[in-house]
Each structure stands twice: as C-alpha cells, then as structure tokens.
Amino acid sequence: MRALRPLRRSTIGGRIAAVGRTDSDYGRALEAIGAGATVATHLFNGEERRRLQD
C-alpha cells in the first residue's frame, strides 16, 4: 500500500521502523511488520480514542 512506502524505504537504508499510537486493526499492523517495522509501542490506542475523549 502507498502508506507503507516510506516505511519500506527507511528500512532499506538500515533505519529501525516503529509502529505506535495507532488505531489500526491487527491486519494493518501485520502489513507494517511485513514492510519492515520491528518495534511497536502503544498499539491500537491512537487518534480515534483521542477524538472520542474530546
């Protein structure tokens, strides 16, 4: 997917890619892992939850 292109490009250069502060579902998280993300923090608690609190 287009949104994963920057992640793929950054890992090719040897950078570590992380996933965090996201309201993605499990499948989308797996796509990010497949694209090179190796670190994760605060999964599934992203912007949607913040919008609900406002």
Alpha carbon distance 53, 18 (integer Å): 25
Mean pLDDT of the chain: 80
**Helix H segments across 1-54?**
5-12, 26-34, 47-53
Q: Is the pTM of this model over 0.85?
A: no
Q: What is the pLDDT of residue 36?
A: 93
Q: In this predicted model, what pLDDT tens digit does every residue of 5-48 receive, in sequence order?
A: 988 888 888 899 988 877 778 888 899 999 999 998 877 666 56
The reported pLDDT for the residue numbered 45 is 67
Dihedral sign (CA 15, 48, 3, 35)? positive
For residue 16, what are the CA distances in angstroms to 33, 40, 53?
A: 11, 11, 32
Asked whether the beta carbons of 22 and 46 are under 8 A apart, the reply is yes
